Structure 1
Amino acid sequence: MSGRPRTLFQTWGSRVTRSIRSSSGGGCGAGRPRGLPDLGAAAPRVEGPEPDDDVLLVAAYEAERRSGDGGQPACPGPPDDGGFCPAAGALWIYPTNFPVRDYQLRISEAALLCNTLVCLPTGLGKTFIAAVVMYNFYRWFPSGKVVFMAPTKPLVAQQIEACSRVMGIPQRHMAEMTGCTQAFIRKEIWHNKRVLFLTPQVMINDLSRGVCPAVKIKCLVIDEAHKALGNYAYCQVVRELIKYTKHFRILALSATPGSDIKAVQQVVSNLLVGQIELRSEDSSDILPFTHERRIEKLVVPLGEELVTIQNTYIQVLEAFASRLIRVNVLIRQDIPNLTKYQLILARDLFRKKSSHVLGVQQGVIEGDFAICISLYHGYELLQQMGIRSFYIFLCGIMDGTKGLTRTKNELSRNEQFMKLFEQLANIFSDRNTASGIVDGNPNQRGNNDEFIYSHPKLKKIRRSCC
């Protein structure tokens, strides 16, 4: 006999079947998802109840429903397989304290029943849909865990606030975890909290260490799902999770699922997606919620100082790229217009055809590819981000924190590179640190009163906003 006392409602063995309207931070509509069994069917009634008994039954049911945290119904007796609570699972809740959009309602309901990739343009409520799905799994599985993964720490912080605002999950049940959260603290969080917001790197680390209770995870939401390619951490998490359990729902979110069909198929396969809910800006059900945009393209010249640095750096690129050209593993191209991606493709092609190349020579060529790819990454930073990001990247190479030791040694022997590196060092030494070059913050200045921008486009943006 169970030591837990039974309520009057449980003792009578009756269940009140009715449509429930509840509130979680506002009004909510309730209904049973299509495809779920009717878990709220009435049990046989006790014969001959008094007229007031029905009223008492309703009151008892309402008391039990409200006894759970956050308006979550209490489970009569132990929950069934996987922690599912039949009382909660008899219906699903959708918030009406926000304007009800039909496409969000339909996508939310579909995502409850199948692993779903949701593709919506930015600003049309992917996070809202995620919050609805998370809240319902939070209710349905009182002992389960709900996880939201985002690729960066700022996104993690942004999403926990948004989900709390939409569905009103109690703050005491939620937690945020990033790489800055110590391992022993994460272990306590996994044990004590039910709704977790974290980066995929944290998730895979805790799964591999056995800290994450994998079998308790019932809903996994993946933001920026288009990143789930190759061996990215999202893919590792899903592969590791299915070793422990197959009873969990995946909701993947992305505004741009892939550049081609092959990329989208990889995302679908890696995340075990069963259906895709796709809307474009021209879709009829989202047209009322989109606004016409006027895009004006402004081309900002790099400026005299940045062009001078660029021309010097191109000479460095030519010195190393010419090695690959001489051994016919890189087709001679316009060096300034060569990209990091083209180098990666050339390296992959070399590896496929390198069976006839001697081991020593193969190692040299691989090393030259590594140097060039690293240098062209710096070239992209210089053109897109400015001299501050470029200089910090070069400092990482020279102090050994980025790149291989060979890269540092090779660059140290290149006269053009060392002159450029010293030139940049002098620029920043006049302002004590690299942060002396302003990246568009008017309150951030160097030792002198001159306001210097890391990139000319920042100056253009500031003038446009004034």
Structure 2
Amino acid sequence: MQIRNFTPRTYQLNILNTCKANNTLVCIPTGLGKTKIAIMLAAEVLDKRPEAKVIVLTPTRPLADQITKEFQECLDIDKEKIILLTGETHASKRDVKYEDSQIIIATPQTVQKDIENNRIDLDKIGLLVIDEAHRSRQKFANTIVSKNLSEKGTSRILALTASPGNTKAKIDEICENLGITAVEIRSESDEDVKEHVQKKDAEYVEIEFPEQLKRIHTMIKDYYKERLENVKSFGIYKPLSVVNKTDLILLQRRLQGEIQRNNQSAFYGMSLVAQLLKLSYMLETLETQGVKSLNYFLKKLETETSKASKTILANPKIIEARKELDKLKEQDIEHPKFNKLLEIIKNNLETNKNFRIIIFATYRNTVDNIYNLLNNSGIRAIKLVGQNLGLTQKEQIESIKQFNDGVYNCLITTSIGEEGLSIKEADIAIFYDNTPSSIRKIQRAGRVGRMKEGKVIFLVTKGTIDAAYYWKSKKDETKMKNILYKMKDKGISVKQNSLNDFK
């Protein structure tokens, strides 16, 4: 079997050599051709085992469709032998499709179900490719499928990702779950990659946190500190000044266990922690999102019946903070990020009216606010959010198509736009807010600088959690790369789990 319509690059061939001999985790930047490595390995496997089949797992239907087309274009094989299989295909027909095809691209859940229902002859699978392999946590469908094949011992496994995780434990977990025995990593500075990397500028834009918002922030923070004093009696021994959201979530889990043991005081503790988590969210929302987003959250609290929500809304400091928020709303005062975002977009579109710009925001409410701001300012913007937030898959695909075709030059999106959808390369990616996750940072930034030069712009509120998240994700990305290079050089010595470990 021959590849066609592309010429393998040196680093792809070097990585391929490792993949032929080992179950391999491949970590290379977005846009450097991870799928091409899978295509080359599929050709190698099918050359040696013409009767074998290849399964490619990818998390979303749109991405599966894209990969199917890429395999069909790049392999010298009858297109009908390369199929896209989804849960929408009736079960009675899937047996025949597996039998008649040679390369199957599907979502992990679809293949897991078909294995459970004995629709797949596992002895015939010669290669399993797992796209977006960082999703391969314990009991996830990727993991279950991989374990079923590993126990047969007849299939090579290739795991692909731009970012598997920021700790050795997380990376080891993926390797254990997928039966990985080797790691290949490349970054923009590697000799065999340099010539194929496009210039990608990064711009750090610091935004002052204005006095009007600081006053409201202080009111909420004072109440947060008052409530925090009360957690001491529930076994928090750290200085209260360094207690964070993670500590509160761990305490919440412990209190849930106490409730199951009928500890009555744990009910109060649970309500207290719920208040603290909501107050923490309010502080973060004001720092990173804006006035409208905080107002939206407070109105949402009014609809809740929990004691935590009612206690917060009844507190004098919160009542005063809401009055101040109302004054800002009347004066049309927002977080200065909005004006800076508008200024950046206008300046860039004046430079080139055909620029495509992606704006990332964590919350749907912020996406709506940015959408209204841009369209009211004469900028052609469209939004892309998840199906659980209001768009059907058909509407998502249509939004992406209109952005790809240039009908709109700005796409505002939540995490749904970070991975799993076929969005054409943009010229500029703007982080309206910052994420502490190195995986999400890498995925966001990967939307630019693939085939042409690009720019990533980070909007960061000075002296807030926004800045902390920016530096954390940057530090974790460096840490992740260092871990992977060590694993590549020294090899892998992780426990290989059996299928029984996930039942």
Q: Under a length normalisation based on structure 1, what TM-score does the superposition of the two structures give?
A: 0.56
Distance 1:344-1:187 versus aligned 2 partners, 3 A rule: farther
For the residues of structure 1 that align with 2:77 and 2:211, how far apart are their CA atoms? Answer: 54
Paired residue for 2:191? 284
Identify which of 433, 436, 439 aligns with 2:370: 439
Deviation at 1:267, TM superposition (A): 1.8
Amino acid at match of 2:93: E
1:260 aligns with 2:164: no
**What amino acid sits opposite 1:192 in the alignment?**
K
Alignment equivalent of 1:118, drawn from 23, 26, 38: 26
**How big is the shift at 1:129?**
0.9
Which structure 1 segments of 5+ residues have no match? 1-91, 428-432, 447-452
Q: Structure 1 residues 219 and 100, CA, compared in 2 at 3 Å: closer, same or farther?
A: closer
Cα distance, 1:136–1:379 mapped onto 2, change above 3 Å: farther
Matches within 5 A, 1:151-166: 152=60, 155-166=63-74
Partner of residue 341, structure 1: 246
1:63-86 Cα distance to aligned partner (Å, 9 max, x none): xxxxxxxxxxxxxxxxxxxxxxxx
Q: What secondary structure sits across from 1:296 in the alignment? A: strand
Equivalence for 1:225: 133
RMSD over aligned Cα atoms: 5.0
Matches within 5 A, 1:330-369: 331-334=238-241, 339-345=244-250, 359-362=263-266, 364-365=268-269, 368-369=272-273
Kept in 2: contact 1:147–1:217 (CA 8 A): no
Q: In 2, distance between residues paired with 1:389 and 1:443?
A: 17
- 8 Å contact 1:207–1:241 — kept in the other structure? no
Change (3 A) 1:247 1:352: farther
TM-fit CA distance, 1:124: 2.0
TM-superposed deviation, 1:297? 1.1
- Show the counterpart of 2:203: 296
Q: Is the 8 A contact 2:256 2:270 kept in 1?
A: no
Higher helix share goes to which structure? 2
- The amino acid across from 2:204 in the alignment is K
Contact 2:15 2:184 in 1 (8 A): yes
- Residue 272 of structure 1 aligns with which residue? 179
Distance in 1 of aligned mates of 2:278 and 2:107: 26
Letter in 2 for 1:324: V
- Aligned partners of 1:197 and 1:396: how far apart in 2? 41
Alignment CA distance shift 1:463-1:273 (3 Å):
closer
**Partners of 2:233 and 2:34 in 1: CA distance:** 51
Quickly say closer, same or farther: Cα 1:410–1:354, change in 2 above 3 A. Answer: closer
1:415 alignment partner AA: L
Change (3 A) 1:413 1:233: farther
Query: Does 1:411 pair with 2:320?
Result: no
Does the residue aligned with 1:295 lie in a helix, a strand or coil? strand
Using the TM superposition, name which of 123-132 and 196-205 deviates more: 196-205
1:364-417, Cα deviation, whole Å (9 max, x unpaired): 5456546655664676566545567777777888778xxxx8xx4431343258
1:234-260, Cα deviation, whole Å (9 max, x unpaired): 3344345556x4322211112233323
Distance 2:95 2:322 in 1: 47
Number of residue pairs matched by the alignment: 344
Q: 2:57 touches 2:108 (CA, 8 Å); kept in 1?
A: no
The 1:382–1:436 alpha-carbon spacing in structure 2 relative to 1, beyond 3 Å, is same
SS of alignment partner, residue 298 of structure 1: strand
The aligned amino acid for 2:21 is: L
C-alpha contact 1:316 1:416 (8 A) present in aligned 2:
no
Q: 1:225 to 1:374 in 2, by over 3 A?
A: farther
| Offset from partner CA, 1:34-79 (integer Å, 9 cap, x none) | xxxxxxxxxxxxxxxxxxxxxxxxxxxxxxxxxxxxxxxxxxxxxx
2:119 is equivalent to residue 192 of structure 1: no
Q: Structure 1 residues 444, 343: CA separation in 2 closer, same or farther (over 3 Å shift)?
A: same
Q: 1:129 to 1:186 in 2, by over 3 A?
A: farther
Q: After TM superposition, give the deviation of residue 445 of structure 1 in Å.
A: 5.5
Q: Which residue of 2 aligns with 1:103?
A: 11
Distance 1:368 1:267, change over 3 A: farther
Residues 234 and 292 (structure 1), Cα distance of their counterparts in 2 relative to 1, 3 Å cut: same
Q: Aligned partners of 1:155, 1:342: CA distance in 2, in Å?
A: 37
- Residue pair 1:226, 1:254 contacting (<8 A) in 2 also: yes
Residue 270 and residue 435 in structure 1: after superposition, are their counterparts in 2 closer, same or farther (change >3 A)?
closer
Q: Which amino acid aligns with 1:298?
A: V
C-alpha contact 2:58 2:64 (8 A) present in aligned 1? yes
1:46-65 matched pairs, under 5 angstroms? none
- Percent of aligned pairs with the same amino acid: 22
- DSSP-derived class of the 1:266 partner: helix
Q: Which residue of 2 aligns with 1:144?
A: 53
Q: 1:175-220: per-residue Cα shift (whole Å, max 9, x none)?
A: 153xxx54x6366346425444444344445545x27526254422
Q: Aligned equivalents of 2:456 and 2:14: distance in 1?
A: 42
Larger mean Cα displacement after TM superposition, 135-144 or 272-281: 135-144
Alpha-carbon distance, 1:272 to partner: 0.4
Contact 1:324–1:330, Cα closer than 8 Å, also in 2: no
State the secondary structure of the residue aligned to 2:19.
helix
Structure 1 residue 227 displacement after superposition: 3.5
Shift of 1:261: 2.6
Q: Deviations over 1:158-190 (max 9, x none)?
A: 44444444436655432153xxx54x6366346
TM-score by length of 2: 0.52
> Cα gap change, 1:463/1:267 in structure 2, threshold over 3 Å: closer, same or farther?
closer
Secondary structure at 2:90's aligned position in 1?
helix
**Alignment-mate amino acid for residue 361 of structure 1:** S
Q: Which has the higher contact order (CA 8 A, sep 6+)?
A: 2
CA contact (8 A) 1:387 1:454 kept: no
Q: Distance in 2 between matches of 1:158 and 1:310?
A: 46
SS at match of 1:438: helix
Checking the alignment, whether the CA contact within 8 Å between 1:347 and 1:369 is kept in structure 2 is yes
Residue 414 to residue 343, structure 1, CA distance change in 2 (3 Å):
closer
Question: Using a 3 Å threshold, how does the CA distance of structure 1 residues 163 and 145 change in structure 2: closer, same or farther?
Answer: closer
CA distance in 2, matches of 1:205, 1:99: 37
